[in-house]
Amino acid sequence: MEQYKINHLRELESEAVYIMREVASQFDNMSLLFSGGKDSIVMVHLAEKAFYPAKIPFTLVHIDTGHNFDETIVFRDKLVERLGSKLVVGSVQKSIDEGKVSEETGYYASRNIAQTTTLLSALEENNFDVALGGGRRDEEKARAKERFFSHRDEFGQWDPKNQRPELWNIYNGKKNKGEHFRVFPLSNWTEMDVWQYIFMENIDIPSLYYTHERDVFLRDGVYIAVAPFMKLKPIEKVERLKVRCRTIGDITNTGLTLSTANNLEDIIKEIAATRVTERGDRADDKRSESAMEDRKKEGYF
Amino acid sequence: MSEFSTKGYLDMELLRFTTAGSVDDGKSTLIGRLLYDSKSIFEDQLESVQRASVKKGSEYLDLALLTDGLRSEREQGITIDVAYRYFATPKRKFIIADTPGHIQYTRNMVTGASTANAALILIDARKGVIEQTLRHSYIASLLQIPHLIVCVNKMDLVDYSQEKYNEIVADYLGFANKLGIKDCQFVPISALKGDNVVIESKVMDWYNGDTLLSTLEKTPIIRDYNHNHGRFPVQYILRSELDNHTNYKGYAGKAVAGIFEKGDEVKVYPSKITTKIQSIHFHKDEMTTAFAPMSVSMTLDDDLDIHRGDIIVKENNNNIKEGKNVEMMMCWMNEKPMLLNGNYTVRHNVKETTCSIKDIIYKVNINTFEKDLKDKIIKLNDIVKVEIATKDTLFYDSYNDNHHTGSLILIDEETNETVGVGMII
């Protein structure tokens, strides 16, 4: 029976494909949240595999904070063109202009929290009844409590204390009008699994993940990219260094790693040796002990 | 963690296990210890636990704080919901379904147990086998988790006494035999001090067995999947025009048991028409075989009318059962009590139909395991034997033969919540 065994990455792949096919069977108007980061790129790759030779049945949704790395947008547009799928861009700038959220000010100003409002409006305006996300349970402790099929009430809110039990491989996506689901096919993947899978499947990822020279400055022990909208404190100095992104988010939240890794194998070695979590450099999670939980309850990714 | 060469990583096996304990028996500490001593904790996580420990006024590093996810859990010092944890050694990758031990949270334990290859049962050495230990073990046997690992914890508080340990082991074994638990191992540990969790105890030299971590690394992974009974529930129909302009109609799904090969004769239920497998694909790859737990898509020799919820079966092995009246063990998962003769939506694998509860045969007294034939009020966390009557015919196996074709859930038609989970007898 030895030959009828698959390795754990293939098992996780099969699980994610199964979840995506469940979504396509149980929902009507489906979206896939695409940030341009590696997890959402893996999600698109899995969706292609799940539905081939048909096109992926999901509309890609990008919540654009307006503070992106240019490379992310270029990568996104090329991917959408290749897939021939629909793209909806929810603009945080537009939400600010319409007065739905207010812009934070000061050195630590971020549009991270504002994104939730834009995300919920984008889902509502397009009548999406489900949004697939690349969130993983190993990322953060509130995420560790998340279901594969996560119910959201009509206000888009998550009730962590009243989640539906999820057993075997049966997923209950039933809902009333106005409610929606967030679905996380990568729930059981770890950061290492994602990188090994990218390597195994030879998936194209943005150049930001590889080493490159960039103007950066050090803030609270973390290197951040210099950008026109970033306010530097008087003591903060701009340096040009060899860095790469371990995660890709909005520029204001993305900590850069000093690295010379220019291929996937080197990245994997670097991740294996690291002693800080992937989100350890994410300013958005550092705000408080329950920063993620609070944002998730409101309807965050 | 630098041992993770790319090559080695691709050969790793996956072990899913669940943990069950009672309030204060140190389950969170044990998981924290397992993660900490296996070097799966990162510096920023550790710093956050250090900060929280100081804030709580704790004298030592409170590893339990590593696993409390929600604010109310930290505030109340209890675990509310199933949490999933991940760690790896060079030999295996592990997924822990960490389930709370309170009486009222039986439903979480059942949830965590449904996908587990192994269960850790925690016993406080000072208290020995208590009611909750029995309850956890009963659930593990009900859900048919293949392996049990009993951790006798807090050995430091009983002076690492071998006598005390042996007493507990004997006590537990007497009870395990009654439940028909076959594979069960014991490890004396102190999660707080780290004895026998990852590192061998220096104090308990009378114990010659494996540490908990090596026990987990050696547990044979008997998959839920049996490779004998071919079962392929049709999940989704893939239709498209291929590059060469022929039409493709594939039945996408997951092989939940058995081995399917190109050219195999198969029978499709409910139509009971026999045909052959024309091709098996996953993405652009054509393959000759598919087996559990692979997600693939199949084409068949004949153009049949097949829908989601139909099931493709290899008839040369075990026959699938069929019926509209099905008996099962059921755990009730909702505050709203079970309605005898009430209607529910039933989901059996991917097949959906409606049903009513025809008969409550007995309720299990979860403390004495006696059958209560009189009490017909079924509330949250109750375990009962019931008979349901379904609108459409179900094609199923017993849970004993196949966890996927032998299990189902009931959904409340008003609230859409999952209210009951059944294991077909």
Closest CB to A199 among B6, B95, B350? B6
Q: Nearest CA to A13 among B309, B254, B82?
A: B254
pLDDT digits (tens, 9 = 90+) for B342-361: 999 999 999 999 999 999 99
CA distance B265 to chain A (A): 20
Q: Enumerate residues 6+ apart whose C-beta is below 8 A from B116.
A: B16, B17, B18, B97, B143, B145
Q: What is the mean pLDDT of residues B400-408?
A: 93
Q: What is the mean pLDDT of residues B199-221?
A: 94
Closest CB to A164 among B80, B291, B417? B417
CB contact under 8 A, B239 and A190: no
Inter-helix orientation angle A70-83/A38-51, to 10°: 0
pLDDT digits (tens, 9 = 90+) for A70-109: 999 999 999 999 999 999 999 888 888 888 888 888 878 8
Q: Do B19 and B121 fall into the same domain?
A: yes
Cα–Cα distance measured from residue A232 to residue B416, given in angstroms and rounded to the nearest whole number: 51
In this prediction, residue B4 carries a pLDDT of: 46
User: Amino acid identity of A185?
Assistant: P
Residues facing B202 on adjacent strands:
none
CA atoms within 13 A on the CB side of B424: 29
Closest CB to A4 among B243, B291, B308? B291
Q: Are strands B231-241 and B247-254 parallel, antiparallel or unpaired?
A: antiparallel
pLDDT confidence band for B91 (50 / 70 / 90): confident
A66 three-class SS: coil
User: Does B293 sit behind a cis peptide bond, omega within 30 degrees of 0 on the bond before it?
Assistant: yes
Closest CB to B69 among A141, A175, A276? A141
The listed range with the strongest mean pLDDT (A160-164, A245-249, B237-241, B252-256) is: B252-256
Q: What is the mean pLDDT of residues B242-254?
A: 85
CB contact under 8 A, A160 and B81: yes
Residue tagged 């081995």 (tokens): B259
In this prediction, residue B85 carries a pLDDT of: 87
Residues facing B151 on adjacent strands:
B122, B187
pLDDT digits (tens, 9 = 90+) for B257-297: 899 999 999 999 999 999 999 999 999 999 999 998 999 99
Q: Do B210 and B332 fall into the same domain?
A: no
pLDDT digits (tens, 9 = 90+) for B112-132: 999 999 999 999 999 999 888
Closest CB to B2 among A170, A193, A273? A273
pLDDT confidence band for B376 (50 / 70 / 90): very high
Q: Do B303 and B345 fall into the same domain?
A: no
CB contact under 8 A, B404 and A21: no
Domains of chain A: 8-194+289-298 (3.40.50.620), 205-284 (no CATH)
Contacts with B, A 261-300, CB within 8 Å: 265, 268-269, 272-277, 280, 289-290, 293
CB contact under 8 A, A276 and B44: yes
pLDDT digits (tens, 9 = 90+) for A265-282: 999 988 888 767 776 656
Round the average pLDDT of chain B to a whole number and report it: 88
CA angle B283, B288, B294 (to 5 degrees): 55
Q: Do B327 and B237 fall into the same domain?
A: no
Domain boundary among B252, B283, B313: B313
Structural contact between residues B92 and B79, judged by C-beta atoms closer than 8 angstroms? no
Q: Do B178 and B62 fall into the same domain?
A: yes
Domain boundary among B218, B251, B283: B218
Q: Which residues of B touch A24 (CB under 8 A)?
A: 236
Q: Which residues of A touch B107 (CB under 8 A)?
A: 165
Secondary structure in 3-state letters for chain B: CCCCCHHHHCCCEEEEEEEECCCCCCHHHHHHHHHHHCCCCCHHHHHHHHHHHHHHCCCCCCHHHHCCCCHHHHHHCCCCCCEEEEEECCCEEEEEEECCCCHHHHHHHHHHHCCCCEEEEEEECCCCCCHHHHHHHHHHHHCCCCEEEEEEECHHHHCCCHHHHHHHHHHHHHHHHHHCCCCEEEEECECCCCECCCECCCCCCCCCCCCHHHHHHHCCCCCCCCCCCCEEEEEEEEEEECCCCCEEEEEEEECCECEEECCCEEEEECCCEEEEEEEEEECCEEECEEECCCEEEEEECCCCCCCCCCEEECCCCCCCEEEEEEEEEEEECCCCCCCCCCEEEEEECCEEEEEEEEEEEEEECCCCCCEECCCCCCCCCCEEEEEEEEEEEEEECCCCCCCCCCEEEEECCCCCCEEEEEEEC
- Is B410 a residue whose pLDDT tops 50? yes
User: Does B337 sit behind a cis peptide bond, omega within 30 degrees of 0 on the bond before it?
Assistant: no
Structural contact between residues B403 and B342, judged by C-beta atoms closer than 8 angstroms? no
Residue B224 lies in a domain: no
CATH number (domain holding residue B300): 2.40.30.10
Please give the residue that has the higher pLDDT: either A197 or B244. A197
pLDDT confidence band for B298 (50 / 70 / 90): very high
User: DSSP letters along A232-293, please?
Assistant: PPTT---EEEEEEESS---TTT-PEEE----SHHHHHHHHHH--S-GGGG-GGGSS-TTHHH
In this prediction, residue B82 carries a pLDDT of: 81
In this prediction, residue B2 carries a pLDDT of: 36
CB contact under 8 A, B6 and A196: yes
- Is A16 a residue whose pLDDT tops 50? yes
Of all residues in chain B, the one with the smallest CA distance to A265 is: B6
Q: Do B126 and B18 fall into the same domain?
A: yes
Residue B100 lies in a domain: yes
CATH number (domain holding residue B200): 3.40.50.300
In this prediction, residue A47 carries a pLDDT of: 98
CA distance A93 to chain B (A): 31
pLDDT digits (tens, 9 = 90+) for A211-261: 999 999 998 888 999 998 888 899 999 999 999 998 888 888 888 999 999
CA distance A204 to chain B (A): 17
Long-range contacts of B41-46 (CB under 8 A, 24+ apart): B41/B66, B42/A274, B42/A275, B42/A276, B42/A277, B42/A280, B43/A275, B43/A276, B43/A280, B44/A276, B44/A277, B44/A280, B45/A277
Round the average pLDDT of chain A to a whole number and report it: 89
- Is B317 a residue whose pLDDT tops 70? no
**Residue A142 carries which DSSP code?**
T
Main-chain phi, psi angles of B140, to 5 degrees: -60, -35
In this prediction, residue B71 carries a pLDDT of: 67
- Is B41 a residue whose pLDDT tops 70? yes
Cα–Cα distance measured from residue A184 to residue A130, given in angstroms and rounded to the nearest whole number: 11
Containing domain of residue B128, as a range? Answer: 6-218
Question: Structural domain tally of chain B?
Answer: 3
CB contact under 8 A, B236 and A24: yes
CB contact under 8 A, B69 and A145: yes
Residue B157 lies in a domain: yes
Q: What is the mean pLDDT of residues A18-47?
A: 96
pLDDT digits (tens, 9 = 90+) for A118-145: 999 999 999 999 999 999 998 877 888 8
Contacts with B, A 7-66, CB within 8 Å: 7-15, 17-18, 21-22, 24-25, 48-55
- Is B110 a residue whose pLDDT tops 70? yes
Q: Do B163 and B285 fall into the same domain?
A: no
ipTM score for this prediction = 0.91
Asked if the C-beta of A235 comes within 8 angstroms of chain B's C-beta atoms, the answer is no
- Is A160 a residue whose pLDDT tops 90? no
